[in-house]
Amino acid sequence: MNQDQSKFTPEERRLLVARGVQAGKSNRAIAKKLGVDEGTVRNARKYLATPEHERPVKKERPRKFKVPVPIYTLDDRASLLRQKGRVLKAAKHWIAEQHMVLNEIEHVVHDAGGQLFQSRALVRRMPIPTQKPEELLLPTRPNASKCADFIPNPDYYAGWLARWLAVCLPGQDDLYDEILRETSQWARNRAAWLIS
């Protein structure tokens, strides 16, 4: 019965070769049974014949560190506008998930804009993100109250939205205004559509 070569780890294959040798089978017969080349069986036999202290030790290769790549570049206006589009889409989805009504959305958007304006010096020093806007929603979530019965309110959402926008587009005051204005307009259009 032929076995697929990829089904065995090197250790398992050597163990099976050792069993075949003990049974008195030839290299060709063992190779055929395992579904490997005869050379693989010869190498396994050579490895098994080498005293354990002289066998080569497989060294673990150090993992390569992936350098995070910014999701957009400041010099490229088109790149910034793509990020704005991603942020706007994620903001609309987030608001819909929170089940906010129009007056809550208006309050959240207005307060988030105020918080961003007040902390603009701090926001300018933040690094460009390497993650997508939707991936940054959870890490920017404010710490909820210690109470188990905490119910998020518009101020809580405004703080969350401001932090999230600051992380997604650090120091981009004009884009914050555009995103907040377009989000507010979207919410009004959505409310009008739901009423009619």
Instruction: Look at residue 149 in the predicted model and tell me its pLDDT.
Output: 62
184 Cβ partners below 8 Å, 6+ apart? Answer: 105, 106, 109
- pTM attached to this predicted model: 0.63
Which residues fall within 8 angstroms of residue 158, CB to CB, at 6 or more apart? 107, 108, 109, 110, 111, 112, 115
pLDDT tens-digit map of 28-38: 999 999 989 99
* pLDDT for the residue 146: 57
CB atoms within 10 A of CB 163: 21
Share of the chain above pLDDT 90, in %: 47
Compare 52 and 181 and report the one with higher pLDDT: 181
Residue 2, pLDDT score: 47
- What is the set of domains in the chain, with CATH numbers? 5-54 (1.10.10), 77-195 (no CATH)
- What average pLDDT does this structure show over 37-51? 91
> How far is the C-alpha of 24 from the C-alpha of 11, rounded, in Å?
20
